[in-house]
Amino acid sequence: MVNRFVASCAVLVAALTWSAPASALVFPFHEPPEMLGAVADEVVALDFDGNGWRDVAGVSRATGKATLVRNHADGFDSPQTATLPGNAAGTVAVAGGDLDGDGRDELLAALGDSGSLVVFRGRADGGLGVPYELALRPAKPLQAAAVAVADMDGDGDRDVLAAFGTSATVLANDGHGALTPTAGAVAVPAPYDLALVKLAGDDDPDLVVTSAYALTLVPGAAGTGFGTPVTRDLPYEPAALATGDVNGDGRLDVGVTYAWTHDHPEAPGLFSGTADGDLTPLPWTAQTAYALLLADFDGDGITDRYANDYSATFAHGAAGTFGRFDAGVSKGPSWERGLAAADFDGDGKLDVVSAQSDSAALNVRYSTGPQLVTSAANTWFGEGVVGTEGGSMIAIPVRNEGGGVARNLELIAEGDTADFHVEMNTCRGAVLRVEENCWLNVYFRPKALGARTADIGVAAEDSDIVWLARIEGTGVEGQSPAPTTMPITGTVTFGDRPPVVRLPARTPPPKAVRPGAPALTRATLATLRRSGLRFTQQFGTAERVTWTLEHRRTVLARAQRTVAAGSTTVTLKLTASGKRVLTSRKPTSLTLRTTGTIERVTTVRVRRS
C-alpha cells in the first residue's frame, strides 16, 4: 500500500490506450455512498477478524489513531479506534496481510515522522488491541513513508517492506508473524507510492516506486535482495500507481496517473511489462487523477478503472483499453485521496471504500450490478383503435451501460400494461456485455379510450437498478387501421440519461403541484428484502421525480423517472447494502421521499413478520 494513494490491482499493456468511448455510460455504483462514521487519510481492505468479510481500516493523521470498521453479513459495525504509539502527524501509509497464518489479517502502518512500523495483530474478537512498534529509522519531520506486504524470500509466508525517506527495509517473517529487519537497506527515491509485484515471472518480487517526477523499478533478487534500480523520468508529478495484467498476456504492467498534465500530451501513463521483467513506456497515455484503482470490478475477466480527480469516474475495460474521458461519472463532486477495492456485501462484485480529501470521512460505494437502459428515443405510438388485435409495433433497444455482464434478463412493466404487448425478442436468453444491446418488440393494443401509458425496462438477475422508459399511445374508436411497424435499424439512439421521453408538443404544464400521498400497504421486512417497496402515487403535473427510501438517512433504495399527470406505479428495489441494513437494524418504520418540483415525505410502516 502507499503513503499518499492506496492503490491495488491492475493496469495496462502493449496495445493499451486511453481511447475515447463511443458514448457515455452509467456510473455503476450506488449513490450516495454509505458513510461509515470513521475518518482516515489512508485506507486498506482486510479481514481483520477472520470471519470471511472484508473489513475497512486506516490511519488518521489529525487524530493520531488507527481506525477499524468490522464487516459481517449484516453490514458494518460502528468504528473503533486505537491510539498509535508513534507520531502520525506526517506521512503515513497502511497495508494489510496475514503474517502469522491464523486466517486473520494484520494491520500495518508506516509512520514517516517516527520512522517506525506499527503492527496491529488480527484478533478473533475483532478488537484492535494494543499494537507493537518497530523503530526502523530515526524520527525525522516530513519523512516519506510507504509499506507493502509480499512473500519476498519464497518460504510461503508474507514478509514486509517498509520505506522511509530514501531507503527501504525488508522485514523477514519467521512464519509466525515475528518480523526481523534484514541486513542492509534498499536505496529508493523518497516514495510517493510503491508496489511489490512479480514483473519478471519468477518468484522474486520487484519493487515499483513513484517519486518526484520519476518511476523507479528495483528488480528482485534471490532471498530478500534487490538488484540495481532503474529510474525513468516522468514529465509531471505522479499522483497514483496501480499494477496488474490488463491485456491478458500473463505479464504485469504499471499504470501511473498525474497530478496535472499540460504541455506534454505524449507523456506515458502506462508501462507495459516485458518478458525480461522490464517496463516499456507507452506514449500518449498520460491521465490526470489523484486516486486510482485498476481491477476486474464486474467479473467479466477484463480490468476496469476507477479513478478520482474532481469526481469519481469509472471506465469499463475492453480488450486492454479504457475511456480517455471517463464514461461513468458520479453525480456529485467528491475528492477522494484513499481508495481500496473489495467485495464488501458478498455479491461477487468489487466495491470501493474511499477517504474524502476534505474531511477524511470513509465511505463505501457498492456495485449496482448490470444497468440495462431502455431507449426512450422512439416510444410514442400515436392513436390506436380500441380492441385492435394486431396493433402498431415499435422495436425498442435495450443496452447494457455498465455494471457487469447481464444474464437471465426479465421484463419489468408498470402502468397500463394491458394496453401494450411486449415481446422479449432478442433480449430473451441474451447475455449482454457492457455496451451490447438487445431488442424488445412492443405492440400497442389499447383496451380503453384515451391516453394509455406504461413504463417498461429490463433487469438482469443481479441488477440493483432498473431503468424504465415510458411508452404512450391514445386509444380511439373507429375501424382498425393497417398495422404499422417501426423496424430495427442499424443506428441505436438512447437519448440523454436518465431516459427522456420525447412527445409531441402539448399544452404547457400547470404550476407545480405537491405529489399525492403514496398508496402504501404495510410491508414485512422479508417482502421488502425480496421484492422491494411497491406503491402508486398521484401527480398533478408532468415532472422529473426521484423516490428515495431511507432509514435514519441511510439510503436503502432509489429510483428516478419522468412522470405524467395522474397515477404512477413505482417499485423501489433495495440495494445489497439496503437489504443488509434491514437485516441488521430491523426497523419498524422507514422514510420515503418523493422529490420533484415539490418534495413530499412519507413514513412507511414496516412489520417484522
Q: Give tens-digit pLDDT for 234-289.
A: 999 999 999 877 777 778 888 899 988 877 888 898 898 898 899 999 888 888 89
Top-confidence range, 197-206, 414-423, 555-564: 414-423
Res. 560 pLDDT band, cuts 50 70 90:
confident
- Selected residue with higher pLDDT from 476 and 298: 476
> Up-side HSE of residue 199: CA atoms within 13 Å toward CB?
25
Residue 534 scores a pLDDT above 90: no
Q: Burial letters for 273-302: b for 16+ Cβ neighbours within 10 Å, e otherwise?
A: beeebebebbeebbbbbbbbbbbbbbeeeb
pLDDT at 483 over 60: no
Would you state the pLDDT for residue 269? 86
Q: What is the mean pLDDT of residues 190-196?
A: 92
Residue where the block lists cell 503492527: 119
Residue 489 has pLDDT above 80, yes or no: no
* Helix ranges (DSSP H) in 76-234: none
Q: Which three cell numbers stand for residue 112?
A: 514517516
Q: Which pLDDT band, with edges at 50, 70 and 90, does 148 fall under?
A: very high
Cell of 461: 438477475
More confident residue, 313 or 74: 313
Closest residue by Cα to residue 307 from 283, 278, 341: 341
- Left (φ > 0), alpha (ψ -120 to 50) or beta: where does 319 sit? left
Q: In whole angstroms, what is the distance from residue 173 CA to residue 98 CA?
A: 11
> Could you tell me which residue, 449 or 484, shows the higher pLDDT?
449
Is the Cβ–Cβ distance between 45 and 339 less than 8 Å? no
Distance CA 208, CA 191 (A): 10
> Dihedral sign, CA of 144, 145, 151, 154?
positive
- Largest Cα–Cα distance of the chain, in whole Å? 94
For 239, 267, 520, 586, the CA distances from 605, given in Å and listed in that order, are: 48, 58, 9, 12
**Which three-class secondary structure string do you get for 355-409?**
EECCCCEEEEECECCCCEEECCCCCEEEEEECCCCCCEEEEEEEEECCCCCECCC
Question: How many angstroms separate the CA atoms of 223 and 204, rounded?
Answer: 8
pLDDT at residue 322 is higher than 60: no
DSSP state of 288: B
Q: DSSP label at 417?
A: G
Q: Quickly name the fold that domain 372-476 has.
A: Immunoglobulin-like (2.60.40)
Q: What is the pTM of this model?
A: 0.76
State how far the alpha carbon of 150 is from the alpha carbons of 82, 154, 203, 541, in Å: 26, 9, 11, 61
CATH code given to domain 36-187: 2.130.10.130
What Cα–Cα distance (Å) separates residue 296 from each residue in 10, 156, 305, 407, 441? 8, 26, 8, 18, 34
Q: Which of 68-72, 267-271, 331-335, 556-560 has the lowest mean pLDDT?
A: 331-335
Q: How confident is the model at residue 484 (pLDDT cuts 50, 70, 90)?
A: low
What share of the chain has pLDDT > 70, as a percent?
88
Which residues are paired to 43 by β-bridges?
58
Lowest pLDDT segment from 178-182, 278-282, 420-424, 497-501: 497-501
Q: Peptide bond before 370: cis, by omega within 30 degrees of 0?
A: no
* Contact indicator for 370, 462 with CB cutoff of 8 Å: yes
Q: What are the extents of the domains in the chain? A: 36-187, 372-476, 522-607
Amino acid at 355: A
C-alpha atoms less than 13 angstroms from C-alpha of 563 in its C-beta half-sphere = 27
Asked whether the beta carbons of 511 and 597 are under 8 A apart, the reply is no
Taking 80 as the threshold, does the pLDDT of residue 332 lie above it? Answer: no
